[in-house]
Structure formats: structure tokens, C-alpha cells
Amino acid sequence: MSQSGFDTKLVKDLARILRDTDLSEIEVENEGVRVRVARQASAGPQVVHAQVAAPAVVAAPAAPAAPAAPAAAAAAAPAALDPAKHPGAVASPMVGTVYTQPEPGAATFIKVGDSVKEGQQLFIIEAMKTMNPVPSPKAGTVTAILVHDAQPVEYGEALCVIE
């Protein structure tokens, strides 16, 4: 670690992970240091924000933010209400690639209009070569699916809406 508690080797390692996995963003926290590395649309990985638990804050030059809403969400929400802000929106628990079916060519886990039970698998998110199931946080009816198969997703991004 350098004097500010900031480890440039960590940033380089995270940038390499972004490049190797085609992720758009990765964030880690270790021993009071939190580092978030995000990829710009036209450039390689960059540090957008690094924070030390102590008062010191280290930040790289401001990078333009990645597009906030995916095209699918923008298309699914005309001028009405943003489905991503719906109280029944199911958020991505991590950064990765979302899959809507268990394997290529198989039926999707859910469709609009399906009734789901709490804990029922809705999606799979691949992060760092690990497949992570996304369970339904509650029982209800799927009213919107805001992502498409093999789409990169960010932490907290709305995946679907369950009412």
C-alpha cells in the first residue's frame, strides 16, 4: 500500500479482470479500502472512484458515467412510469452477465404474466466465470422483464418487476 492506503497493483489487477471477463465494472472492498473500476464505452478500464475508510479520498480524473438505463428498460418504459423505480423491481445482486434461460435453446426461467413463488429462480448472473442464481424476493406476477439474455448488468440494475 502507498501512503494514502491506495494500492495501484490492486487497480491494475481489477482492470485486468475487467478486460479478461468483459465486465463493465467491478468494485471491491478490503481492509477499509474500496475501489471501483469501470470501463468507458470507447476506452479501456479506468478508476472512477477509490475511497479509504480514513478521511483521505483518492479519485482518478472524472470519467463520463456509463449509460444509466439499459436500452431494454428505455424501450419498455415509454413516457409512463420507469419500471426500474417500481417497488416490485427485482435488482441485480451483482455486476455480471444476466441469462434468462438455464442453457442456450432452453425455455426462459420466466415470462411476463407468469406467477412466481418466493425463492423461485428468475435469472442466472455470471460473474467471474461463476453462475449465480437470482431468486424471486417475493411471490407475485411478473409484469415486466427489463433485460434480455446475455446482457451485461450492473449492481442494483432492475432485472424484472414482480407485483
Characterize the bridge pairing of strands 121-127 and 130-135.
antiparallel
Q: pLDDT tens digits for 13-57?
A: 777 776 777 677 777 766 666 677 776 554 444 444 444 444 334
Which residues are 132's β-sheet partners? 125
From the DSSP assignment, how many helices (H) and strands (E) are in the chain? Answer: 2, 12
Q: What is the dihedral of CA 100, 105, 111, 115, to 10 degrees?
A: -90
| Torsion angles phi and psi, residue 151, rounded to 5 | -90, 135
pLDDT of residue 96: 96
> Which residues touch 124 (CB under 8 Å, ≥6 apart)?
98, 99, 102, 109, 131, 132, 133, 134
pLDDT of residue 30: 65
Which residue, among 31, 127, 139, has the nearest Cα to 88 in the 3D structure? 139
pLDDT of residue 64: 44
Give one DSSP letter per residue of 72-115, joined into a string: HHHHH--SS--GGGSTTEEEPSSSEEEESSSSTTSPPS--TT-E
Q: pLDDT tens digits for 88-140?
A: 999 999 999 999 999 999 999 999 999 999 999 999 999 999 999 999 999 99
